A and B are shown apart, each in its own frame.
Chain A
């Protein structure tokens, strides 16, 4: 078949056609813009938040490399350097810990950085000065300097006490560099020179994992990046396979969990895809609606074109060219507005949250371009997909049908219609019925946005400060030994009876100290059997099985003994049995929880049950208790220190005191029912004394901490639901306007036979009201389902969430819809009335 050169003429027809329907075009371009704004906003806000959180988490983790090998030797480093997949490989040599007695509230590691980039990779590159070169030089974070009481001045002499695998070394160092310490980091860094490392922590000859003496000094920590951060876990496993093959001993690996894509499990991917789909569908429905209505309005035109010999393909091309034109006009504007809007939102998020690392949240221009391209592509694809069906309708139109086309439900011909009374309302019903499909799509798309808004709101609404705080603090005031302390013993038992007595002097303060002691559970026959079963189950996990093996062998294992009084016992929420406080205080009973650490699963392994007996040993005293209930120690009152395998044994204070030689507490719960403020002030003063490691907190303290998180979630969520609600509302306006504009001829005809403007407006209002009505019904049903099933189940595990049912956003949106159903017809009707009735009647028919 010869090639026909008709592109130009098709193009011309398409463009002319566009020019003719200016008002309609504005509406369509607006909807394309709307979709583009939706995508751009979501992408740019989402992108920068993910970016920012990633950076924040990296600071917390203390490193920006994607993965690392732990406790390896220089030869492993060489292997990594040679591997093709890895890049940016850096290392640091473990030396020890800084344990100057002034360092009560800061834990400080001493390491030797391989080079500058190794220091930068853990965010510890000296801002002033440089990395150490001579043996007596040291560089450290300002937080350590502050804690040591030293000035931020290069050349300051630093009397360092360093614990190197249990050996303490005192060395007078000179400060050669420092940087602002990050309080979010888990530990502070101190750099020493390679010379120092070689001298005091020489590279061991033996592999760490086979070595008998469990020292860390001299081993290397090697961190590196991959080409991208997708599924780092899997990549790392592959890497180990490459480097070590089937060797029995492979080094421990660390995957930086700051990278959201570090573990690409099916659930995460599915959730991501689902979210994308929903957003995509929302955009699709907006555009599809408008396109569909527009095509229906123009169908006579297409019929006309067909009668004069335009083929289906050519008509489809006309529609496509028009879709393209809409995209070209709508997308750039949408991008610009979207980026601006996203920026404004982000700025306000920053301001409200007082995020100091604003830079971390700023999206780099290259990423921004990428985001824009993605949104543009997304929008364009949406437009093209949305135009597929209308394209087909337009292409397949039969010329004769089209000339008498009345949009009567696409082929479904109703036989007849019962005669009824005609009112604007009944005519509106008729109008919706005549194109049921369109009505369904409109209602669906409106429903979708309302459901999204409502779901998001339900999620935001359920964030519960009380529930969050109960996970952080019980009672009015909580006094704890500093959790950042280097010394585990102090964290668990630092609060001595003397300190407790001091607090007891505060008038009106009701003290409930929680006591702690290390002990052992002595296993009997039944328990041994159960341990054996457990051992069988965990044979695959090296550390766990070793621990269990030892327990079986020793016929005893670690017990964490807590002594609490009745007031504290009331807060226990047992998973088995019940806590009877009176009975508990007799001293014959214990409350038990057994714990086996295994990475990500629930660590509870209950091998003791209510009614059974447990034998506890402490020092050389031994005692038997009946298990009253299974319940873990209330988290905020616990030591927050865990062994690999342990049983928490909770007994009354009196029992504890009869057991322990040197009683001590990790924390004191204080109730201050009267004179709360004065008591709080006095407690605070006791904690703030120089050299004290006591940390004061009350509900307010934790609330403040939480507020940041809440505000963040509420702001982002609020902004998102705002956008979605806006999209829903604009979509509604679009639909109503399009309905009116596309029917200007029909309305003129009604005018001609005497339907007054008032009556027509009433009819149009009713149409809007019906849309709003059905949307309400659908969205209430769907939202209730989503809320009661999905949201409730997903959020059940969240410790700061209390689910409650709400349809408030739907009501708000629907009220807006109703207001608009009245307002919009008035405005758009006036718009079409600018053209005279005669012209409108003539326009098509």
Chain B
């Protein structure tokens, strides 16, 4: 089943001579449970693509379908709610909320939704990511790798349709990167999660099921499932 699909996705920044086409006619489709890496040099448009997949940024033209729903037909407020239900984010800078402890950070999107927490599931996720002993710690008491694991747990906890990871290992050393990525992959498989990750690191990209290459705003390779 195709869980994520884009149609002629284009993003243009600025107007007139300063105009930059960050992404042009990008077409992409992702199957349920896939682990995809988007690779490209910096400025190639991979972050722009990811932001639009997650509904953080609106495209100049084109569409993004998540579970066959055109997400940009939603208004901002509805889009935010859609995002916290269907999309989990993992950022390079972790972006944990400084006043909340590990556990609270993990369940934050669920609580924002006012839903009751599936304690068993969340406990399982926390354990899978090796965070059981760190539940009461605040973000500034965690190492980078630990913080990123919390971020991954947060992304998984609400059982989203897709997890989007933006250079999740960008701030980590290579060994921690390996650990974190393995965890991401393993937990993704375990829970049948679809994961879309961007990176500029070829070695890391190789851990993915499929690699999509992007350059100068164009998807060069791997955009389609069957390509």
- Partner-B contacts on A (CB < 8 A): 404, 406-408, 413-423, 427, 430-431, 433-434, 746, 749-759, 836-838, 841, 845
- Given known contacts A422-B104, A845-B93, A754 and B85 CB-to-CB distance under 8 angstroms: yes
Query: Within the complex, what minimum Cβ distance (angstroms) separates A350 from chain B?
Result: 54
- Given known contacts A430-B100, A754-B80, A754-B85, A422 and B138 CB-to-CB distance under 8 angstroms: no
Residue ID in chain A nearest B105 by CB atoms: A753
- Partner-A contacts on B (CB < 8 A): 51, 54, 56-57, 76-77, 80-81, 83-85, 89, 91, 93, 95, 97-101, 103-104, 107-109, 111-113, 135-141, 154, 158
- Given known contacts A751-B80, A759-B112, A837-B56, A419 and B103 CB-to-CB distance under 8 angstroms: yes
Query: Within the complex, what minimum Cβ distance (angstroms) separates A746 from chain B?
Result: 8
**Assuming A408-B140, A746-B98, A754-B81, what are 18 further A-B pairs, CB within 8 angstroms?**
A406-B98, A413-B141, A414-B138, A417-B101, A417-B104, A418-B136, A419-B101, A422-B107, A427-B97, A751-B80, A752-B89, A752-B91, A752-B95, A754-B85, A755-B84, A755-B108, A756-B81, A836-B57
Cβ contacts under 8 Å, B109 to chain A: 753-755
**Complex Cα spacing A772 to B81, Å:** 30
In order of increasing CB-CB distance, the 5 nearest A-B pairs are A754-B84, A430-B99, A406-B98, A416-B136, A417-B101
Query: Within the complex, what minimum Cβ distance (angstroms) separates B71 from chain A?
Result: 13
- Given known contacts A418-B136, A757-B76, A838 and B56 CB-to-CB distance under 8 angstroms: yes
Q: Is the CB of A419 within 8 A of B138?
A: no
Cβ contacts under 8 Å, B95 to chain A: 749, 752-753, 841, 845
Q: Is the CB of A416 within 8 A of B108?
A: no
- CB < 8 Å: which of B51, B89, B100 contacts A422? B100
Query: Within the complex, what minimum Cβ distance (angstroms) separates B53 from chain A?
Result: 12
Q: Is the CB of A408 within 8 A of B138?
A: yes
- CB < 8 Å: which of B56, B99, B101 contacts A416? B101
**Complex Cα spacing A415 to B85, Å:** 32
**Complex Cα spacing A423 to B108, Å:** 9
**Complex Cα spacing A841 to B54, Å:** 14
Cβ contacts under 8 Å, B80 to chain A: 751, 754-757
Q: Is the CB of B141 within 8 A of A419?
A: no
Q: Is the CB of A413 within 8 A of B100?
A: no
A–B pairs, 11, beta carbons within 8 Å:
A416-B138, A417-B100, A417-B104, A419-B103, A431-B99, A746-B98, A753-B83, A753-B109, A754-B81, A754-B109, A841-B91
Query: Within the complex, what minimum Cβ distance (angstroms) separates A507 from chain B?
Result: 82
- CB < 8 Å: which of A406, A418, A750, A836 contacts B140? A406
**Complex Cα spacing A837 to B136, Å:** 29
Cβ contacts under 8 Å, A758 to chain B: 77
Q: Which of B84, B89, B99, B141 has the most CB of A within 10 A?
A: B99
**Complex Cα spacing A581 to B42, Å:** 103
Residue ID in chain A nearest B82 by CB atoms: A754
Residue ID in chain A nearest B88 by CB atoms: A753
Cβ contacts under 8 Å, B138 to chain A: 408, 413-414, 416-417
Cβ contacts under 8 Å, B98 to chain A: 406-408, 434, 746
Cβ contacts under 8 Å, A414 to chain B: 138
Residue ID in chain A nearest B76 by CB atoms: A757
Residue ID in chain B nearest A757 by CB atoms: B77
Q: Is the CB of B99 within 8 A of A433?
A: yes
Residue ID in chain A nearest B158 by CB atoms: A754
Cβ contacts under 8 Å, A841 to chain B: 56, 91, 95
Q: Is the CB of A419 within 8 A of B136?
A: yes
Cβ contacts under 8 Å, B112 to chain A: 422, 754-756, 759
**Complex Cα spacing A258 to B136, Å:** 70
**Complex Cα spacing A417 to B154, Å:** 17
Residue ID in chain A nearest B47 by CB atoms: A838
Cβ contacts under 8 Å, A756 to chain B: 77, 80-81, 112
Residue ID in chain A nearest B80 by CB atoms: A756
Query: Within the complex, what minimum Cβ distance (angstroms) separates A683 from chain B?
Result: 77
Q: Is the CB of B57 within 8 A of A416?
A: no
**Complex Cα spacing A756 to B100, Å:** 18
Residue ID in chain A nearest B87 by CB atoms: A754
Cβ contacts under 8 Å, A415 to chain B: 141
Residue ID in chain A nearest B95 by CB atoms: A749
